[in-house]
Amino acid sequence: MNLLTILTLIPLIGGAAVLSLKADQKDLARRLGLAISLIALGMAAFLWFQFNPSPGTNGFAFEERADWLPSLGIEYRLGVDGLGLLMVCLSALLVPFSMLASWKIDQNPKLYFGLLLFLEAGLFGTFTALNFFHWFIFWELSLIPAFFLIKIWGGPNRTQAAYQFFVYTLVGSVAMLLSFLAINVATGINSPAHIFDFRALAELAGNHKLEPIIAKLGIFKNPSTTMTVLFAGVFLGFAVKVPLIPFHTWLPSAYSEAPTGTSMMLTGAMSKMGVYGFLRILLPIFPEQTRAMLTPLLWMAVATIVFSAAAAFAQKDLKRMVAYSSINHLGYCMLGIFATVQLTGSQMNGPLEKEAALNGVILQMFNHGLTAAALFYFVGLIEQRSGGLRGLNDFGGLRKPAPVFCGLMGITLFASLGLPGLNGFIGEFLIFKGAFSLAPGPAAVSTIGLLVTAIFLLTLLQKVFSGPLRSEWSGWRDLTAGERLTVVPMIALMFVLGLYPQLALGVINPTVVEMVKQMSF
Amino acid sequence: MLPIVKYLWLIPALPLLAAGLAALLKKERRASAATLAIGSMSISFLLALAAFLPTLSHGEHGVFRECFNFTWFEFADNTFQSASTVQLGWVLDPLTAMMLVMVTFVGLLIFIYSVGYMAHDENFTRFFCFLALFAAAMLGIVIANSLLLLFISWELVGLASYLLIGFWYHKPSAAAAAKKAFITTRVGDMGFLLGMLWLYSKTGTLLFYDGGNGCLEQSALIKLVAETTMCGMAISTAISILIFCGAAGKSGQVPLHVWLPDAMEGPTPVSALIHAATMVAAGVFLMARIYPLLSASADPATISTGLKVVAWVGSITAVFAACIAVAQNDIKRILAYSTVSQLGYMMLGLGVGGVAVGMFHLITHAFFKALLFLGSGSVIHGCHEEQDIRKMGGLRILMPITFATYAIGMLALCGFPLLFSGFWSKDEILASAHHWQISQIPFYLGVIGAFLTAFYMTRQMFYVFFGSPTVSPAAVADTKAKHSHNPHSSHSHEPATSIHESPPVMTMPLVILAVFAVLLGLIGTPAWPWFHGYLAGHSPKVDLGKLAEDAGLMLVSAVVVFTAMGLSWLVYSKVTLQKSREVDPLEKAQPFFWRLLANKFYIDELYEVTIIRLNKAFSVLSDWLDRTFWTGVVTMISHLTVGLSWLSRKIDEDLVNGGFDHGCDGLRESSRNLSKAQNGQTQFYFRVLGIAFVALVLALIWRAK
Amino acid sequence: MTPLTHYLIFSALLFCIGFAGAMMRRNAILVLIGIELMLNAANLNFIAFWRYGNTEAISGVMFTIFSIAIAAAEAAVGLALVIAIYRHRRTMQMDKFDTLKG
């Protein structure tokens, strides 16, 4: 059973089907799109319950393999471990949510829903691929629908935002592609087989065999310089996608110009591609280079956390504020990832702390996807109801006419600021637990980010929902039944993961244990 | 294991369930919400009593202590065994049991009181939901056997207090106060979090007691004391000071006290619940809970730095807040500052005298301060939401029950000798401070604080209950109509008939609390320190001789209290009879100091110009960096790229293409010029031929020669 | 007997006259006549050299006869061309015939 191929094909074929509808079959397009995304969700859920990696597979399950261009090391290879599975589930979960949030889009809905499904296919492909070649195809495939979604349905500055988003990401991708081509060429020198397989490369790197192979390229005299350059290329590709400060400037405008449903996908799932890349590709293949750059990388993560939180506080536009908070949350992931890179040797509990941090990182990825998407959903609703206004100071006292709206958005905000009992806390706690032991300085400074996050999220809550009700909003509608139905499952999931994190950690933990064992750190 | 230990979780879970259910109720289901909250709290109270009973008998190892731990989730390879899991749990020991009883009992009374106080509020249902959530979180703190569970409940308490302070969200000041409270306490919580993480990484567990493996037990403490950090401080001390940051935030210790007076924007039962009985006490409780860690030091003879820090911060807070309270005019703000000051006493007691000293004051204070707050609520309720004490007066006749109970609370707070609980608990703190080896300054600060406390409480009593009523019926009607009050039209000597005693549902809790405010002192007198024995795990005997030992100190504190009250009487008994109460006599005497105190030493303003502005500046800087610098760099790169493309296009078009074209043009031009010789005239060619022939011949001839 | 030099001088003069005519005259007929004169100068040279050389061999006479025949043919073709051009252009002026110019 090629379950993963089927999983990727569902939205791909479904997207084509939606596109083949007639332009005036708007409702049908929406319904069909939603139905297909729900089928994909069902498939993802099926995988979740079937997931049971057999021993000796390094924690991977549902593996598929087919030769493609064997002489170049290109093969069709799929498989998921806990990390991939969780990301697949996150993407599958967010697409229907995002579709419901975009239900009211009336300008060519069939194209919109079709593109969302293609985006989903790109995400599935990225999270399941184990060979660079088709991984990269899917990586780029997800970019194109996102570009058009911003370009066609975005806000007033959509064109600039879309181009910025596209070009920025593409520059990173190209740098990464070049690095991988160099590796592929190097592995082919005096050797029968080129290598594109992530795990094979990771194994080489783990046994310190990759550097001698790269040395054959002879670009620089010192092979470690070559490795560093290759590392920089791959790093750039992922750092732009996450994004890490200072590679983030495309993000606020892209997120704030994109239509709500697209922002949800961008922040919820696509930003995870970058973090996923760090975990699946960069760290296993370039452990020593990462380690050599550890201090600047850690402080880069800290800068991401602190500066983005502070910048969010300075925003007057709700969407931009949420966009910056999204950078901030992924900064914690990066902190956790970088903290685990350093060698602890035989130091007591080194692996334990690393496992804690990585568990936290992966959980945080999922949680952030959930929370940030929900936040964008709420901001989108505010924008929709106010007729396009979304300034921090445009509102006031909305809690009175819309108590449920306020309550549910409040829960989401508190989940985002890491209130215990909601999902955000466990991830951040585990990241900080690991990071604080492994890199106390950066972790301690990062708590400023936690504090500032609380400040701006509460400011949002205060300015929008508290105070006297402005007369122009006296007719503000509370959440409709449909909207409640859309968002309540998300919020329920926030509670479930906050109270019973073992649900997700049970899947993540074996993967993380395997990761820490596999990588030579 | 006793069944009550196993089911201890029910005590916080019941109010939590009630909160959850109340959250789903419709606005109109007021009675159901109140019933849910009060019912769950009553059951919790009974359970708390059931949990209290077994702790009265202490086991062979001293105190009674049983805990129930379970694994919450697993985050690492199971070869690390228990270190790879996060464990939570609850513990039943005297500290927990006593707090459980206190919190559920005071909470229950406040719940009942709220039914009357909030009767006319449209969000009545929501209020009980929040109250129950708060109680649940607070009880969670109390039963927690894991620092993590404690932290979780701690944050939930913060959330509940945020919701309750901002309950009247349509008031911008309430919304701002709620935010301020949450953020100020979160500043401390970051220290707490770091301390917790540090402790976790050092000991591998956050359970307090775990059959010898807990982080408060011997083996862990020995390890923590042995290691030192950079400044030569034991790790245990560093951790406990970090955790103390959290406690200082919650308990309003200087310099994180600023949120507490602002939190008075919430409804009065909230003030009573949060600022008297429970939340603010959580910080003191936390310090008491981690006391083994706090007091651990390598050399048992020396006092740990952690304790010193707690004692000093406490004593400074005690005096600092008391000073400010003298110059406040809002009835609830005076009480709020007095709470800050009393919390300072608790910290001081904890620092100098140990858990029992601090906790005893915590318990007595919980009762009499809840009493005072509820009394003030009754006053406010009776005076139609008036909170300025200068506009009250003569209420002793109009509100006799409130007056009587309030007076008891006030005397307890002042530490009126012998009869009232506050006297015994405060005296004990002062005695411990007096015997402290490190310094006598905290003791003197404590005495000054006691003096100021007696002074400002007497002042408040005079303003509110003595003299003549100053709120006129017209003004009241005005207030009712407009919800605004004009202070200049309110000086009338007519009796304010519309001021009324509160309904029994509000006064009953007052009476009950008043009884406890008096009686509680009896369990902790030096003659029979039952309370200390209970916490330490032994039964003390009645020994009246002990009373004589401390008699000197008691005399001092009694003299201080009497002097302060007398002084206050002298100053204010006349003022309250005067028409104009706008200017305080002390303000006339010392306008500068008065302003300083009335403006709370300008701490808020100081924060405004330093931290808040710094934060703003930093965020503006970040935003600027983003919009200008990073975007600038990117724009520069993009411009650079555009420039490069322009250059290469120029090279292509002008140099390469242009050069080729130019060459071709030249060639064509020269060909055209050359082809002009081919003019088509045969004769011309012929002529050329002829001339050439001639030339050739001539040349040949010339060559031949 | 008249020395050979006289013949040669005469024929050279004749040639020069013909050459000058061919070069200078603008009328195409006269140019043709000039050309004929040059041919005849050459013929004269052939006969003169034959008479003063080996008279047994008749190559000189043969050349002359050929040359006269060719000149006749040439004159015929040339005149025909001139007439054709004249018909086309209505002129005999040589400097007007410049369609082949570059």
Q: Examine the pLDDT at B543 and tell me if it is beyond 90.
A: no
How do residues A341-360 score in pLDDT, each as one tens digit? 887 765 557 788 888 999 99
CA distance linking residue B51 with residue A5, whole number of Å: 58
- Inter-helix orientation angle A132-141/A158-188, to 10°: 170
The answer to whether the Cβ–Cβ distance between B678 and C102 falls below 8 Å is: yes
User: Where does B118-171 have alpha helices with state H?
Assistant: 124-143, 147-165
A351 touches chain B (CB under 8 A): yes
User: Where does B472-550 have alpha helices with state H?
Assistant: 473-482, 504-519, 530-536, 544-549
CA distance linking residue B178 with residue A291, whole number of Å: 44
Question: Domain-by-domain residue ranges, chain C?
Answer: 3-93
How do residues B454-491 score in pLDDT, each as one tens digit? 988 888 888 888 776 655 444 444 444 444 333 443 34
pLDDT for B493 equals 39
Closest-CA distance, C85 to chain B, in angstroms, reads 14
ipTM at complex level:
0.92
pLDDT for B30 equals 85
| Contact (Cβ atoms closer than 8 angstroms) between residue B110 and residue B272 | yes
Q: What percent of chain A has pLDDT over 70?
A: 98
How do residues B253-288 score in pLDDT, each as one tens digit? 888 888 888 888 888 888 888 777 788 888 999 999
**Cα dihedral sign for A11, A17, A19, A25?**
negative
Q: Which B residues, 573 through 632, put their C-beta within 8 Å of a C-beta on chain A?
A: 615-616, 618-623, 625-626, 630-631
Task: Identify any residues that bridge with A197 across adjacent strands, giving them in sequence order.
Answer: A131
The answer to whether the Cβ–Cβ distance between C98 and B687 falls below 8 Å is: no
Q: How confident is the model at residue A492 (pLDDT cuts 50, 70, 90)?
A: very high
CA distance linking residue A172 with residue A261, whole number of Å: 25
Q: What is the mean pLDDT of chain B?
A: 84
Closest-CA distance, B1 to chain A, in angstroms, reads 26
Q: Note the pTM of the prediction, 2 decimals.
A: 0.85
Query: Which chain A residues are closer than 8 Å to B241 by Cβ?
Result: none
Q: What is the mean pLDDT of residues A503-514?
A: 89
What are phi and psi for residue A439, nearest 5 degrees? -145, 80
CA distance linking residue B699 with residue B96, whole number of Å: 135
Task: Identify any residues that bridge with A75 across adjacent strands, giving them in sequence order.
Answer: A67
B187 touches chain A (CB under 8 A): yes
How do residues B24-70 score in pLDDT, each as one tens digit? 888 888 888 899 999 999 999 999 999 988 888 766 667 788 888 98
Please give the structure tokens belonging to residue A392: 């921090």
| Contact (Cβ atoms closer than 8 angstroms) between residue A193 and residue A147 | no
CA distance linking residue B208 with residue B15, whole number of Å: 25
pLDDT for A91 equals 95
Task: Identify any residues that bridge with A78 across adjacent strands, giving them in sequence order.
Answer: A64, A129
CA distance linking residue B539 with residue B535, whole number of Å: 10
Residue of B nearest to A468 (CA): B170
- Provide the CA B705 distance to its chain's centre, in angstroms: 127
Q: Which A residues, 236 through 295, put their C-beta within 8 Å of a C-beta on chain B?
A: 245-246, 248-249, 252
Q: What percent of chain C has pLDDT over 90?
A: 42
How would you class B704 by CB atoms within 10 Å of its CB: exposed for 0-12, middle for 13-18, buried for 19 or more?
Answer: exposed
CA distance linking residue C33 with residue C23, whole number of Å: 11
**Secondary structure element (H or E) that encloses residue B74, with its range:** strand B66-74
Q: Which B residues, 659 through 688, put their C-beta within 8 Å of a C-beta on chain C?
A: 674-683, 686-687
pLDDT for A346 equals 53
Task: Identify any residues that bridge with B414 across adjacent strands, giving them in sequence order.
Answer: none
pLDDT for C102 equals 67
pLDDT for B298 equals 73
CA distance linking residue A245 with residue B630, whole number of Å: 9
* Disruptive mutation site among B682, B688, B694 for chain C (greatest number of C CBs within 10 Å): B682
pLDDT for B581 equals 60
Q: What is the CA radius of gyration of chain A?
A: 22
Residue burial B52-74, b: 16+ Cβ < 10 Å; e: rest: bebbeebeeeeebbbbbbeebbb
pLDDT for B482 equals 41
**Out of C19, C100, C101, whose CB is closest to B690?**
C19
Please give the structure tokens belonging to residue B18: 């009630």
Closest-CA distance, B690 to chain C, in angstroms, reads 8
3-state DSSP of A50-113: HCCCCCCCCCCEEEEEEEEEHHHCEEEEEEECHHHHHHHHHHHHHHHHHHHHCCCCCCCHHHHH
Query: Which chain C residues are closer than 8 Å to B678 by Cβ?
Result: 100-102
Residue of C nearest to B687 (CA): C23
Q: What percent of chain B has pLDDT over 90?
A: 21
Q: What percent of chain B has pLDDT over 70?
A: 94
How do residues C45-79 score in pLDDT, each as one tens digit? 999 998 888 888 888 889 999 999 999 999 999 99
State the Cα angle at B83 between B80 and B86, rounded to 5°: 130
The answer to whether the Cβ–Cβ distance between B679 and C97 falls below 8 Å is: no
Q: DSSP per residue over A133-182, as a string?
A: HHHHHHHHHTHHHHHHHHHHH--TTHHHHHHHHHHHHHHHHHHHHHHHHH
- The phi-psi region of residue B469 (left if phi > 0; otherwise alpha if psi is between -120 and 50; otherwise beta) is beta
CA-based nearest residue to A205, from A129, A142, A283, A318: A283
The answer to whether the Cβ–Cβ distance between B626 and A426 falls below 8 Å is: no
Q: What is the mean pLDDT of residues A185-194?
A: 83
Going from the C-alpha of A165 to that of each of A95, A111, A334, C5, the distances in angstroms are: 20, 20, 21, 103
pLDDT for B579 equals 56
Going from the C-alpha of A200 to that of each of A51, A60, A279, the distances in angstroms are: 23, 14, 15
Please give the structure tokens belonging to residue A126: 């990225």
Q: What is the mean pLDDT of residues B189-212?
A: 88
CA-based nearest residue to B345, from B262, B406, B413, B292: B413
pLDDT for B484 equals 37
Query: Which chain C residues are closer than 8 Å to B681 by Cβ?
Result: 94-95, 97-98, 101
State the Cα angle at B348 between B343 and B351, rounded to 5°: 125
Q: Examine the pLDDT at B585 and tell me if it is beyond 80.
A: no
Place of tokens 């699946």: A280
Q: Examine the pLDDT at B407 and tell me if it is beyond 70.
A: yes
- Inter-helix orientation angle B10-24/B124-143, to 10°: 160
The answer to whether the Cβ–Cβ distance between B678 and C97 falls below 8 Å is: no
pLDDT for A297 equals 93
Please give the structure tokens belonging to residue A110: 């069939």
Going from the C-alpha of B216 to that of each of B120, B147, B250, B424, the distances in angstroms are: 48, 10, 22, 30
Q: What is the mean pLDDT of residues B654-662?
A: 88
- Provide the CA A133 distance to its chain's centre, in angstroms: 21
**SS3 call for B280:** helix
The answer to whether the Cβ–Cβ distance between C100 and B676 falls below 8 Å is: no
Please give the structure tokens belonging to residue A319: 């969407």
Q: What percent of chain A has pLDDT over 90?
A: 50
How do residues A57-97 score in pLDDT, each as one tens digit? 778 888 888 888 888 888 899 999 899 999 999 999 999 99
CATH class, range C3-93:
mainly alpha
Q: What is the mean pLDDT of chain C?
A: 88
CA-based nearest residue to A428, from A306, A325, A336, A301: A336
The answer to whether the Cβ–Cβ distance between B622 and A450 falls below 8 Å is: no
Sort strands A61-69 and B66-74 into parallel, antiparallel or unpaired. Answer: unpaired
Query: Which chain B residues are closer than 8 Å to C97 by Cβ?
Result: 680-682
| Contact (Cβ atoms closer than 8 angstroms) between residue B692 and residue C28 | no
Please give the structure tokens belonging to residue A451: 């504090």
The answer to whether the Cβ–Cβ distance between B176 and A462 falls below 8 Å is: yes
pLDDT for A219 equals 80
- Provide the CA B10 distance to its chain's centre, in angstroms: 26
- Provide the CA B465 distance to its chain's centre, in angstroms: 32
How do residues B105-157 score in pLDDT, each as one tens digit? 989 988 988 888 888 888 889 899 999 999 999 999 999 999 999 999 999 99
Range of weakest confidence among A221-225, A332-336, B100-104: A221-225
Please give the structure tokens belonging to residue B571: 């100053």
Query: Which chain B residues are closer than 8 Å to A453 by Cβ?
Result: none
* Disruptive mutation site among B675, B676, B683, B691 for chain C (greatest number of C CBs within 10 Å): B683
Query: Which chain A residues are closer than 8 Å to B19 by Cβ?
Result: none
